[in-house]
Amino acid sequence: MALFVVAEKPDPETLKALNGNITDEFRANAGKVGGRFEGNELLLLTTTGAKSGEPRVAPLVAFRIDGKLLIVAGYGGADVNPAWVHNLRANAGAHVESTSGSFDVVAHELDTSEREAVIPRINATMPAFAYSNYQSKTTRIIPIFELEAEHQICVR
């Protein structure tokens, strides 16, 4: 029998402020941010709110594996998915801002076999953001999405 340490869902107002600060820093510094994200590839994912229809921006750590752009819904190991997962499941179209440019994407949620194939690579790529760190804190299966570019507009 496995024991899980379940993380609490982040406080919405605290999370909104943190994400706003990271988004502002990302945009002001051509995609570079400090703190715990320093040296890691970040992107800004803009989804359409499933209920509101309004644009929602989430700064996320990006993983590039075998030419694929992947994002992980770790949410600190909380027992619920971040809102952007619900938004992508309702509307797979989204927009990405990265250090290499800005582009529209279509999100594809990895199935079990696809997820299991990339998890070891994610864990090895960025140990501080390893999938296993978050999965060990929750009973939910943490979703992983591939973001497929529709076309890229270079902005430098």
What is the pLDDT at residue 144? 96
Q: Region 87-106: what's the mean pLDDT?
A: 96
Contact by Cβ (8 Å): 19, 56: no
Q: Which domains does the chain have, with CATH numbers?
A: 12-153 (2.30.110.10)
- What rounded mean pLDDT belongs to the chain? 88
Contact by Cβ (8 Å): 104, 151: yes
For the residues of 75-111, what is the DSSP string, one character each? GGGBSS--HHHHHHHH--EEEEEETTEEEEEEEEE--
Give residue 110's identity as a one-letter amino acid code.
Answer: L
Q: Report residue 67's pLDDT band, with 50, 70 and 90 as the boundaries.
A: very high
pTM for the model stands at: 0.87
List, for residues 71-88, the tens digit of each pLDDT value. Answer: 999 888 889 999 999 999
Question: CA-based diameter of the chain, in Å?
Answer: 52
pLDDT above 80: residue 154: no
What is the pLDDT at residue 129? 65
Contact by Cβ (8 Å): 141, 82: no
Rounded to a whole number of angstroms, the CA Rg of the chain reads 15
Q: Report residue 153's pLDDT band, with 50, 70 and 90 as the boundaries.
A: low
Q: Are strands 101-109 and 42-48 parallel, antiparallel or unpaired?
A: unpaired
Percentage of the chain beyond pLDDT 70 is: 88
List, for residues 14-54, the tens digit of each pLDDT value. Answer: 888 988 999 999 999 999 998 888 888 999 999 999 999 99
